[in-house]
Structure 1
Amino acid sequence: MPLRTITDLTVSGASPRSLELHELAEHQFRCFIGDPVATVSAALEDSPDMVMGHVLLAYLMLLGTEPAGLPVAAAACRRAEGLPANEREARHVRAVGLLVGGRWRAAARVLEDLAIDHPLDALALQAGHQTDFLLGDSRMLRDRIARALPAWHPDMPAWHAVAGMLAFGLEETGDYARAEQYGRQAVERQPRDGWAQHAVAHVMEMQNRGRDGIAWMRAAPQAWAQDSFLSVHNHWHLALFHLGLDDIDAVLALYDGPVCADAPGLVFDLVDQSALLWRLHLRGIDVGSRWQALADRWAPIATTGRYAFNDMHATMVFAAAGRTGLIRAIADAQQAIIAGNGESVADNARFTAEVGRAATAAMAAFANGDYAQTVELLRPIRHISHRFGGSHAQRDVIDLTLIEAAARSGQQSLADALRAERALHAGGQATV
């Protein structure tokens, strides 16, 4: 008799022990805690023919945009394609294959339709949600979860994750009150849910509620930070709240501690570190040798061409550190991606052509003191910057750079206009 998951979904090729481990790995993934790769690998040692184990391993390798993860995901996908699978599982395998091939939008559609037919498939919801994040698709961050919500109720073990994902989608579409409501409910139900914790932080960042944000993040850090691979990002949010209150000493302490020194070195960790130093750079704050150390961490992976959003952040660091050769290498890699060269660059070619190339060049121009060129590069893309992924809070670095470049290039009327626009969005108080 086929085994079933905690949400009553049939799984193929699993033993009771491997299914138990797989469920634990999915829980770890939902909360961003522990080592779900090790856990699902143990499940596959027990049951090598469990197709969803290979699928989960592939998602874990793909959704962080880690260059080293792609070959592992490709191997997992090939293994899954050769195994017996039911209709639901086969659609997961299809989505993984598309992600491996760089066709993120097509994968998002497969996962969208899968979740419509199987709304209790929490992994389909989460993999789709994370893909929406990489695509910068704010509406789908909300809507794919909203469609499934009627099938869920708070007594279900994974309900907190659905509520947390919905909270983030609501925040990214400007529905801040309901976003905070669902996010708080999710954290109350599962305090270790780092994604729900971060969704509430996003709400407070967008509303310029720095003191509320600090209180929220510092209330129970042992829950969201301990053994969490979202710890760096959530500490980044805490640092932004302190930055908004001009508490630079606290920002640097957070950078030197949990944002950098305690980070496992994932690509998204490097993105957060880069973005935080750049915000200090925009304020004219000398961060000393931190740029060079961060440039050394970026150097081995910066030209892999996996994700244009990452390219921009790596270039910030190389420009500030004076690594001109690496800046040129990223620009060359972007040109090759746009031309269609390399592996698994299908959608990233569009991200790079539409937004990434200009955003990356603008950061280099700013660090080089060419502020007028920075303005020229950023103004055409700022309203379409969602096309290369990330969240509103992360993409805010583009607006911050544009404002500072306008001021430094003598375009004071433009700088004042942008600050007025920003003040309105922040509820009447500018957050530069």
Structure 2
Amino acid sequence: MQNRDLSGSVLSGASAAATENYIAAVEAYHCFAGDAGGLIEAAIADSPAFTMAHVLKAYLHLVGSNAAAVQVGVEAAATALSLPANDREQGHLAGLQKMLSGEYRAAGRIFEDLTIAHPKDALGLQAGQLMDFLTGDSRMLRDRIGRAAPYWDPGRPDYHAVLGMLAFGLEETGLYDRAEAAGRQAIDLQPRNGWAQHAVAHVLEMQDRRADGIIWMRADIDAWTRESFFAVHNWWHLALFHLGLGEVDEVLKLYDGPIWGAKSDMAFDLVDASALLWRLWVRGVDLGNRWNELADVYQARADTLGAYAFDDTHAMLSFVGAGRMDAIQALLETQQAALKGPGDNASFTGEVGLPVMEGLVAFGAGNYGLAVERLRTVRNRSARFGGSHAQRDLIDLTLIEAATRNKDHDLRRALIAERAVALPSGETASVLGRAA
């Protein structure tokens, strides 16, 4: 008897018991909550030749983690690639190989073809959307899910996962009303879906609905924090809502508590911590020793830098904030080497990462004219090194502050005017009031 996942696809090398654990692990991965790692280890212990169990283990560890976790992912991928696989599983393995070599665009295309052929493969959709996020491909964040949508209906147990992914893709392409509706429907179906929770938070951020955002995030904190490996990012969204309302004490409380209290060295958690501190710092908030504590962690994992420019840019935030000139210089040299490196990161670095970092370094040195020049040059193409609109907004916020400090009143006025069109209150009003 062949065992199958929720899409009806055959799972090579899986027993009935291992299949049950695998399905539960995939559900946890969809939600970014639960014991996905423990469940997949149980599946592998039962069925060591279970190909997709090793694939999922690789997906869980390869992106956004620390060096030790990445190595686990590399080993899981190697095992998966050594095992028998059917046609659908071969698609996952081919995409995984491209991920290992840092060819995220190519991986995204492979996952695209995989889910065109198998539109009910929710894991394939999720792996593909992760590649779209890493490459900043807003349209594919939406369209790869949209292509599969006709094959899904509310009667499927994992329908919430596709709704959550669709919500994020709709939000990143500016279809805010539809994004919010899809995200809220996903949460109604599965309150623990941290990705859907975050998709609605993105809508509220982009619409400048700060008070609504606080209500949304605080309505059921337990649902999106319990056993969640995505909680830090959602806490970050809550902090942004408070920051937009000028509630700096609440932001610092969140930073010192759930955002940075555990001092995680996971890449995605570090990104959130550094991005939040930077937003506070450019406003003139006294951060005490916080920059140094964060920079210590980044310097301890310096051997991981140079692989993904988006993450490296956030390391640079911490080094500039802490005034660590040696670390700044070393990271700039790492970026120069990355320009000749393998995979997509060479273009991420050259087109966006390096000029942004040079702008940040200039800002920290008080050379606001150079900061303006570097950031103006790159901001309209900044999506090319990944992340979301909300994350990349840090570039615009820094540019506004650099223009203000450089006494470039005409440019500052123009930047504030354009921002007021997109964000008619909240953070824009705060910037206007502080720097007028």
- Tell me the TM-score normalized by structure 1: 0.97
For residues 126-141 of structure 1, the aligned pairs below 5 Å read 126-141=126-141
Partner of 1:236: 236
Distance 2:407 2:210 in 1: 30
Quote how far apart the aligned CAs of 1:71 are: 3.0
Q: Please give the secondary structure, in 2, of the residue aligned with 1:11.
A: coil
The aligned counterpart of 1:105 is: 105
Superposed displacement of residue 263, structure 1: 5.7
User: Equivalences for 1:169-188 in 2 at 5 Å?
Assistant: 169-188=169-188
Cα displacement (A) at 1:7: 1.9
1:44-69 deviations in Å (ceiling 9; x for gaps): 11111011011111111223254334
Q: Which residue of 1 aligns with 2:330?
A: 329
- 1:351 equivalent to 2:348? Answer yes
Task: State the distance in 1 between where 2:302 and 2:73 align.
Answer: 20
- Equivalent residue letter for 1:223: A
Rounded to whole Å, the distance in 2 between the matches of 1:324 and 1:264 is 24
Runs of 4+ in 1 over 6 A off after TM superposition: none
Give yes or no for contact 1:302–1:314 (8 Å, CA) kept in 2: no
Q: Is the 8 A contact 1:66 1:266 kept in 2?
A: yes
2: CA distance between counterparts of 1:314 and 1:287? 17
Partner of 1:401: 398
* Residue 301, structure 1, aligned to residue 301, structure 2: yes
* TM-fit CA distance, 1:78: 2.1
Q: Partner of 2:379 in structure 1?
A: 382
Tell me, yes or no, if the aligned pair for 1:153 and 1:159 is still in contact at 8 Å: yes
Secondary structure of the structure 1 residue equivalent to 2:156: coil
Separation in 1, partners of 2:126, 2:148: 12
Q: Is the 8 A contact 1:303 1:330 kept in 2?
A: no
Could you list the per-position Cα deviations for residues 251-274 of structure 1 after superposition, in whole angstroms to 9, with x for gaps in the alignment? 011111111114643111111010
Superposition RMSD in Å: 1.3
In structure 2, the CA distance between the partners of 1:263 and 1:25, relative to structure 1 (3 Å rule), is farther
Q: Please state how far the C-alpha of 1:38 moved relative to its aligned partner.
A: 2.6
Q: Displacement of 1:79 after TM fit?
A: 1.5
Structure 1 residues 78, 262: closer, same or farther in 2, change over 3 A?
A: closer
Name 1:362's counterpart in structure 2: 359
Report the more deviating stretch, 254-263 or 244-253. 254-263
**CA deviation map 1:360-388 (0-9, x unaligned):** 12112111111111111111110000000
Q: What does residue 369 of structure 2 align with?
A: 372
Q: Which residue of 2 aligns with 1:153?
A: 153
Structure 1 Cα separation of the partners of residues 269 and 28 of structure 2: 19
Tell me how far apart the structure 1 counterparts of residues 220 and 142 of structure 2 sit (CA, whole Å): 27
**Is the aligned partner of 1:421 residue 2:421?**
no
Which residue identity lines up with residue 424 of structure 1 in the other structure?
V
Cα distance, 1:77 vs. partner? 2.2
| Residues 1:30 and 1:263: Cα distance change in structure 2 (over 3 Å) | farther
Contact persistence 1:80–1:93 (CA under 8 A): yes
* 1:235-291 CA-partner distances (Å, limit 9, x unpaired): 100000000000111101111111111464311111101010100011011110111
CA distance in 1, matches of 2:81, 2:32: 27
Once residues 374 and 41 of structure 1 are traced to their aligned partners in structure 2, the CA distance between those partners, rounded to angstroms, is 48
Shift in Å, 1:157 = 0.9
Question: 1:17 touches 1:46 (CA, 8 Å); kept in 2?
Answer: yes
The 1:41/1:229 distance shift into structure 2, 3 A limit, reads same
- The 8 Å contact of residues 133 and 141 in structure 2, kept in 1 or not, is answered as yes
Q: Which residue of 1 aligns with 2:313?
A: 312
Change (3 A) 1:428 1:291: closer
**1:253 to 2:253 alignment:** yes
Match of 1:197 in 2: 197
1:180-205 alpha-carbon deviations (Å, 9 max, x no partner)? 00000000100000000000000000
Distance in 2, Cα, partners of 1:203 & 1:49:
42
Q: Could you give the per-residue CA deviations for residues 300-329 of structure 1, whole angstroms, max 9, x where no partner exists?
A: 224521210111111111111111111111
Q: Helix, strand or coil: the match of 1:369?
A: coil
Q: 1:65 to 1:354 in 2, by over 3 A?
A: farther
The more displaced of 27-36 and 420-429 is 420-429
What is the aligned length? Answer: 428
Structure 1 residues 209 and 362: CA distance shift in structure 2, 3 A: same
Map 1:271-282 onto structure 2 (within 5 A).
271-282=271-282
Matched residue, 2:214 = 214
Distance, in Å, in 1 between the alignment partners of 2:199 and 2:168 is 5
Greater mean alpha carbon deviation, residues 38-47 or residues 94-103: 38-47
Q: Does the Cα contact within 8 Å between 2:66 and 2:265 map onto a contact in 1?
A: no
Instruction: Give the equivalent residue in structure 1 for 2:434.
Output: none
Matches of 2:53 and 2:374 in 1, distance apart? 44
Amino acid at match of 2:61: M
Q: Which residue of 1 aligns with 2:407?
A: 410
- Are 2:52 and 1:55 aligned? no
Deviation at 1:428, TM superposition (A): 6.3
Q: CA deviation at 1:226?
A: 1.5
User: 1:165-216: CA deviations, max 9, x gaps?
Assistant: 0000000000000000000000010000000000000000000000000000
**2:113 is aligned with 1:144:** no
The residue aligned with 1:4 is 4
Give the C-alpha shift of residue 332 in structure 1: 1.1
Q: How does 1:11-50 map to 2 (within 5 A)?
A: 11-50=11-50
Amino acid of the structure 1 residue aligned with 2:192: R
Counterpart contact for 1:315–1:330, Cα < 8 Å = yes
Question: What is the rounded CA distance, in whole Å, between the counterparts of 1:240 and 1:70 in structure 2?
Answer: 29
Aligned mates of 2:25, 2:148 — CA distance in 1: 22
